[in-house]
Structure 1
Amino acid sequence: MHWLLLCLILLAFVLIVIEDVVHINKAKSTLFLGTLVWLLAFMFPGHGTDTAAVQAQLNENLLEIATLWLFLMAAMTFVAYLNQQGLITQLVYRALPARIGQRQLMLLMALLALVFSSLADNITASLIMLSLLASLKLKPRSMVKYAALLVFAVNSGGVSLITGDVTTLMIFLAGKVAITDLFLLIPAALIGVLVLLATLMTGGNSEIEIPRFRRPIAGRDKVIAGLFLLTIVSTLLFSVFFSIPPVLSFLFGLAVMFLAYQFLYRDTPSRQSVLEYMRDIEFDTLLFFLGVLLLVGMLKELSVLDHLPQLYQIMPVVAANYVVGLLSALVDNVPLTAAILKSGIDMDLADWMCLTYATGVGGSLLIIGSAAGVIAMSKIEALSFVSYLRYMPRLLLAYSAGYGAVWVMGRTFV
């Protein structure tokens, strides 16, 4: 049964890769196989395990999944409103000139993603930046290139703050790094993004015409946008000062948005119900997340990650941390980080900083390796596992450059 479950998990990831060949939506295949492996675990418990133990394992995984689901739902509802009102598109038109070179546009988008994901969480930053990208109406090949850049930049920016990436928070809470130590990851993240930019800026610098459909932004839309920004900031502050889970802060912000919408449109009987904006959420994204996390949860329960600490016995710590980053492109970085923290591996501060960068950015190498990548694959029609895979050598080079920069700064300044 152990090997059957592993084979089913492998099959699920293969179906994601060949989605364009078999024409089976990845959300459907992952959800089917993600639930199937848990059904089989209940029907045929492993040696020394009973259904009560499997139930406890499932409950633990469902709690993690529900937290991510609710957070995504809240953030995507805000973005759905802003998109439908055209506010994000209007901001793009106002921020960009009528014509801009592709290199300048790529640099601007990369820096925006890097900065925004440092201030907010990866999921929120991904939703905003991908909405900006979709509004530009680029050619399919360009869309894939920009999407790869944004996924890497969002993941790179998120590693420097405990609210930006879950694994950064885990390593911080374990007492391995301090807030001030994490600030050293900012220049390293910038170096990695600039290296990737340099590899993507090959060829001509043809200009892109930005469509001009400027119109006044309604005051009510500005209020909702302000509430969205306030929710992001308060999520950061509440997490740092009161250890309030980000999902709770975002759900509270969503509730405030609902009440504000009700008040702002009280004199408009024909207005659309605020709950209707939740229908605009792409539930394919949420179902895909659900299926993938169920699969990864089973992978964790099968003790596949228990052998991870052996890496540190057969190679130097700096090399092992680098490899862990590569593995995070295939396996969720949260159980990877948890396995290392629980193993009691002895590392100095510089090595823990390297691990923080590796687990946060290494998932960018494959489209299914990070939340930003999964969101991008669901929002950008031209983006698939195979089309993203073409950029893996450049992403690997950028990841290596950033990782090397963290190691040098860790050895120099701490």
Structure 2
Amino acid sequence: MTLQVVLAIAVFVGAYVCIVVDRFPRAAVVLVAAALMVLIGATGGETMFYSGETGIDWNVVFLLLGMMIIVGIVRHTGVFEFLAIWAAKLMRGRPFRVMVMLVVITAVLSAFLDNVTTVLLIAPVTLLVCERLGAPPTAFLIAEVMASNIGGTATLIGDPPNIIIASRGGLSFNDFLVHLAPISVGLLIVFVVLCRLMFRSAFVFHPERAARVMALDERAAITDSRLLVKSGVVVGLVIAGFLVQSLLHVEPSVVALLGAGLLALLSRLEPREYFREVEWETLVFFAGLFVMVGALVNLGVIDALGTAAVDLVGDDYGPAAAGLAVGSGALSAVVDNIPFVTTMSPLVGDLVAAGGAAARPLWWALALGADLGGNATAIGASANVVMIGIAMRNGVHISFWTFTKYGLVTTAVTVGLSVPYILLRYYS
């Protein structure tokens, strides 16, 4: 192991520790770490800004930017307040019922939208619901982002790692539905039960608050009906664009930016009115995180870990699939699952090419491990980072350990259930 590799690992671990202790601004930590990676020669300008494998994933950054602008404009219609009151009234002001409803909606939307997009849309509603009911928003936000990662596992377009796996493995939308949707539905049901246990202190019913909510007229919350109609049309077009983007060969980021530009023109709002809703710190954090991980990829650190795992596999594909699911879950807790899957998918592709049909379930093991493992820590998945950024902007602090103590339980249970699913379905 060279000195450069040792220094790069030290920088990555040091940055990770700083994020964990939560005493320094996240964006500042990753920017310093990214700069140190450049200073030690682990990465450079060209690899940071222009490499699709070891640089900043601009598709993710601009997807977030476009959707943040759209959400910022939609907020001016009052529709989030409308949905918050409607949801609370439908569930009679009972916090657990409201959580179940929001969790299920989030999971279903995440199956057909990118889970980051779903989080951006559902978080404002959640914050307003919790404010109305006097419920702690931390529990609701954490539950929803975990549900988005579980629901996003079900389809090709639900979670960014799935798109990478589909491209590498030549897998179709229907392949994901057939192989991953059944286990995703089962895991969602289990997760609802976990929510009842993990967040039980958040389900305090306040009759007086519930009564006030029941007396509200949700229709009065709509402040700009014309903008609401325009926003509905544009959001519908954006969603349709996400659903067919693979057929049109258009990146999701392009769809989001086109939608943001069109809605900005139609809204006639001053740019400052929606740009102030953009989570700039979150975007910077993502950029720095991609540089950090990209430096390790560039030096071959992650590739070496993956190769070592592949060498242990041999041709015994049942245990290999189980090990890949568990290992991917563990590594995706530490490294954002997008660059992790980008690195691992060629290795899995080689195994599948060598093993044929017997090795094909390795793709599903990788998807389950990476998608579900993203729930383990605050930086394990893109949606987690976005949700924490939204919470912080609204005065709700979710620390690394607060998220992780629930995330580790959720990941252990969901990945643990995925292993027998793989073994029983494909190797029994």
Aligned partner of 1:226: which letter?
G
Structure 2 distance, partners of 1:228, 1:361, is: 31
Structure 2 distance, partners of 1:282, 1:337, is: 26
Q: For residue 329 of structure 2, what is the aligned residue in structure 1?
A: 325
Change (3 A) 1:330 1:190: same
Change (3 A) 1:71 1:377: same
Per-residue deviation, 1:288? 1.4
> What percent of counterpart residues are identical?
21
Tell me the alpha carbon deviations over residues 302-346 of structure 1, each in whole angstroms, 9 at most, x when there is no partner. 211122132133253123222112211111223322333322123
1:303 aligns with 2:300: yes
Contact 1:160 / 1:168 at 8 angstroms: preserved in 2? Answer: no
Change (3 A) 1:392 1:261: closer
388, 393, 400: which one pairs with 2:403? 388
**1:85-164 to 2 correspondence within 5 Å?**
85-97=77-89, 99-137=92-130, 142-164=136-158
Tell me the alpha carbon deviations over residues 198-255 of structure 1, each in whole angstroms, 9 at most, x when there is no partner. 1221358643545436315232232233134223323224313212111111111112
Unaligned runs of 5+ in 1: 46-52, 263-271
1:366 aligns with 2:377: yes
Tell me the alpha carbon deviations over residues 90-149 of structure 1, each in whole angstroms, 9 at most, x when there is no partner. 112123317332321221111011111112111110111222221123599943322222
Whose helix proportion is higher, 1 or 2? Answer: 2
Tell me the alpha carbon deviations over residues 352-411 of structure 1, each in whole angstroms, 9 at most, x when there is no partner. 122212212211111110111101221222311011122134212432255246516742
Q: For residue 246 of structure 1, what is the aligned residue in structure 2?
A: 252
Change (3 A) 1:81 1:402: farther
Q: For residue 352 of structure 1, what is the aligned residue in structure 2?
A: 363
Q: For residue 195 of structure 1, what is the aligned residue in structure 2?
A: 190
Q: For residue 411 of structure 1, what is the aligned residue in structure 2?
A: 426
Contact 1:155 / 1:360 at 8 angstroms: preserved in 2? Answer: yes
Structure 2 distance, partners of 1:8, 1:39, is: 11
Structure 1 distance, partners of 2:416, 2:121, is: 27
Contact 1:117 / 1:154 at 8 angstroms: preserved in 2? Answer: yes
222, 230, 255: which one pairs with 1:224? 230
**1:167-182 to 2 correspondence within 5 Å?**
167-182=161-176
Contact 1:69 / 1:286 at 8 angstroms: preserved in 2? Answer: yes
Q: TM-score normalised to the size of structure 2? A: 0.83
Aligned partner of 1:403: which letter?
S
74, 81, 104: which one pairs with 1:82? 74
Aligned partner of 2:16: which letter?
F
Structure 1 distance, partners of 2:424, 2:272, is: 48
Aligned partner of 1:340: which letter?
M
1:186 aligns with 2:155: no
Contact 2:34 / 2:288 at 8 angstroms: preserved in 1? Answer: yes
- Tell me, what secondary structure is at the counterpart of 1:96? helix
Q: TM-score normalised to the size of structure 1? A: 0.86
Unaligned runs of 5+ in 2: 314-318
Structure 1 distance, partners of 2:71, 2:253, is: 16
Structure 2 distance, partners of 1:365, 1:186, is: 21
Structure 2 distance, partners of 1:79, 1:258, is: 11
Tell me the alpha carbon deviations over residues 258-304 of structure 1, each in whole angstroms, 9 at most, x when there is no partner. 22123xxxxxxxxx414531122121111111221111111211211
Q: For residue 31 of structure 2, what is the aligned residue in structure 1?
A: 31
Tell me the alpha carbon deviations over residues 150-198 of structure 1, each in whole angstroms, 9 at most, x when there is no partner. 1211011212222222221122122353322211312211222222221
* Alignment coverage as a number of residue pairs: 391
Moved more, 191-200 or 119-128: 191-200
